[in-house]
Amino acid sequence: MKILSVNAGSSSLKFQMYEMPEENVLISGVFERIGIENSFYTIKINGEKIQKNANLENHEVAVNILINELLDNNIINSLDEIKGVGHRIVHGGDKYSKSIVLNDEILKDISTLNELAPLHNPANISGVYAFMKQIPNAIQVGCFDTAFHQTIKEDRYRYAVPDEWYTKYGVRKYGFHGMSHKYVSEKVMELLDKDLANVIVCHLGNGGSISAIRDGRCIDTTMGFTPNAGIVMGSRSGDIDYGIIPYMMNKTNMSISDIDNALNKQSGMLGISSVSSDFRDIDAKIAEKHKPSILAHHLYVNSIVGYIAKYYVELGGVDAIAFTAGVGENAPHIRRMVVDRLSCLGIKIDREKNDEFRFGKEGIVSTPDSTAKVFVIPTDEEVVIARDTYSLI
């Protein structure tokens, strides 16, 4: 059965087509700069990447081109071969705790959550409508980034704010990167060959989040009402004292929109280093002994270690810690710095082995006598979407 996994952004559309249930990837790609000048797309098939320029006026045009590529490359002979299209939808609020078959009524309901994810949900939904129009016989499935975290109990997802803020306005912890945390935790359980285990997943990329997972169910996570909470990130501040906001507004005459932009796009590693939000650029400056970049690294590691320690206690000990996403998978020195700080818990890293794990390599990087296994697991959110879509069909 052929299943498409789709992630539609405001000006992009990523896709991957699977043969299910074998989970074989038949073709993948991304359409970029949709609705903007100089738009183009890239497809990868049989290990070869091909980039083409195209006038991508909107998502519907991108979907049309995608369909033509599927036909031209003999991935399908007719649209009827595509049985399902699974869509990443960032925010499902506290209503959608699992993936669901989409229709007009449900999409209208999901759109009421747009103000919780104004940059993402409208684009996700527009992608769904484009595929509904172009591939009407395929079942459309919504897979929510927030769903995996809906097992968190009220004493961990509520904030100590006026009750009406929660009951009337939905102010609570939602958590994000759910599909990544789900995939990685399930992979760790498989590699441990256990049905019951305490796992901490560190999804470390330009955005980053950490989750505490007991027996496959999330009990806590770092991101909150928005993705800006938790650890230091590429350009997001992570946790701060909220009193900074009115203070800076009074001192600088910044608007609340200016403050929001600064905390989301000008803070984190970029704000501390004044170099970049890209960890590779910061690493290059560290090699030159650039003090702000060195400081940024230490603040970053501190924030990760602090949450791992917290979740270690919440879980009552851990069987495994897993690193994933761009930084988690490809920055051995970050993994080493974090795990070295956990040595008081008996968790140890094999430095030689750790240095070997990059660019898609999966496995254990801890020493044999470590009290918890340390894994590097390349994440795969697309296959989670494909699995949920296949399951629902």
315-330 pLDDT, tens digit per residue, is 999 999 999 998 999 9
Closest CA to 147 of 118, 113, 189, 122: 113
Q: Please check whether residues 105 and 241 belong to one and the same domain.
A: no
Domains: count for the chain:
2
What is the mean pLDDT of the segment spanning 111-138? 89
Does residue 389 fall inside a structural domain?
A: no
pLDDT at 119 exceeding the cut of 80: no
**pLDDT value, residue 269:** 94
What is the mean pLDDT of the segment spanning 121-135? 90
Catalytic residue numbers read 145
pLDDT at 346 exceeding the cut of 90: yes
pLDDT at 181 exceeding the cut of 90: yes
**pLDDT value, residue 22:** 96
What is the mean pLDDT of the segment spanning 31-36? 90
**What is the CB-side half-sphere exposure of residue 352 using CA atoms within 13 A?**
1
Q: How confident is the model at residue 114 (pLDDT cuts 50, 70, 90)?
A: confident
pLDDT at 151 exceeding the cut of 80: yes
Q: Please check whether residues 376 and 292 belong to one and the same domain.
A: yes
Give whole-number Cα distances, 270 to 96, 226, 237, 263, in Å.
34, 19, 9, 11
pLDDT at 12 exceeding the cut of 90: no
Amino acid at 380: D
Does residue 188 fall inside a structural domain?
A: no
Does residue 114 fall inside a structural domain?
A: yes
**pLDDT value, residue 91:** 92
Alpha-carbon gap, residue 274 to 280, rounded angstroms: 14
For residue 375, the cross-strand partners are 322, 364
What is the mean pLDDT of the segment spanning 364-387? 96
Q: Please check whether residues 363 and 224 belong to one and the same domain.
A: yes
Contact 13, 382 (CB under 8 A): no
Q: Please check whether residues 371 and 226 belong to one and the same domain.
A: yes
**pLDDT value, residue 238:** 95
Does residue 184 fall inside a structural domain?
A: no
Which domain CATH number covers 8? Answer: 3.30.420.40
Does residue 245 fall inside a structural domain?
A: yes
Q: Please check whether residues 206 and 344 belong to one and the same domain.
A: yes
**pLDDT value, residue 103:** 94
pLDDT at 10 exceeding the cut of 80: no
Alpha-carbon gap, residue 393 to 387, rounded angstroms: 10
Q: What is the pTM of this model?
A: 0.91
Give whole-number Cα distances, 229 to 27, 249, 284, 321, 323, in Å.
35, 20, 27, 21, 19
Does residue 175 fall inside a structural domain?
A: no
Alpha-carbon gap, residue 108 to 76, rounded angstroms: 31
Instruction: Give per-residue pLDDT as tens, 55-90.
Output: 999 888 999 999 999 999 999 999 999 999 999 999
pLDDT at 179 exceeding the cut of 80: yes
| Average confidence score pLDDT of the chain | 94
What's 356-387 look like in SS3?
HCCCCCCEECECCCCCCEEEECCCCHHHHHHH
**pLDDT value, residue 350:** 96
Instruction: Give per-residue pLDDT as tens, 82-103.
Output: 999 999 999 999 889 999 999 9
Contact 282, 273 (CB under 8 A): yes
pLDDT at 117 exceeding the cut of 90: no
The residue among 360 and 365 whose pLDDT is bigger is 365
Q: Look up the domain containing 59 and give its range.
A: 2-144
**pLDDT value, residue 271:** 95
**pLDDT value, residue 359:** 86
Q: How confident is the model at residue 123 (pLDDT cuts 50, 70, 90)?
A: confident
Q: Write down the H helix ranges in the chain.
A: 59-72, 104-111, 121-134, 154-157, 163-167, 178-192, 244-252, 256-265, 268-273, 279-287, 291-315, 325-330, 332-340, 351-356, 381-392
Instruction: Give per-residue pLDDT as tens, 244-297.
Output: 999 999 999 999 999 999 998 899 999 999 998 888 899 999 999 999 999 999
Alpha-carbon gap, residue 316 to 306, rounded angstroms: 16
Q: Please check whether residues 225 and 346 belong to one and the same domain.
A: yes
What is the mean pLDDT of the segment spanning 336-358? 96
Q: Please check whether residues 362 and 273 belong to one and the same domain.
A: yes
Q: Please check whether residues 130 and 217 belong to one and the same domain.
A: no
**pLDDT value, residue 9:** 81
Q: Please check whether residues 138 and 249 belong to one and the same domain.
A: no
Q: Please check whether residues 198 and 93 belong to one and the same domain.
A: no
Q: How confident is the model at residue 174 (pLDDT cuts 50, 70, 90)?
A: very high
What is the mean pLDDT of the segment spanning 305-310? 98
- Beta-carbon contacts of 212 under 8 Å, excluding residues fewer than 6 positions away, are 198, 200, 218, 219, 220, 221, 311, 314, 315
Q: Please check whether residues 240 and 371 belong to one and the same domain.
A: yes
Does residue 47 fall inside a structural domain?
A: yes
**pLDDT value, residue 37:** 87
Q: Please check whether residues 226 and 295 belong to one and the same domain.
A: yes
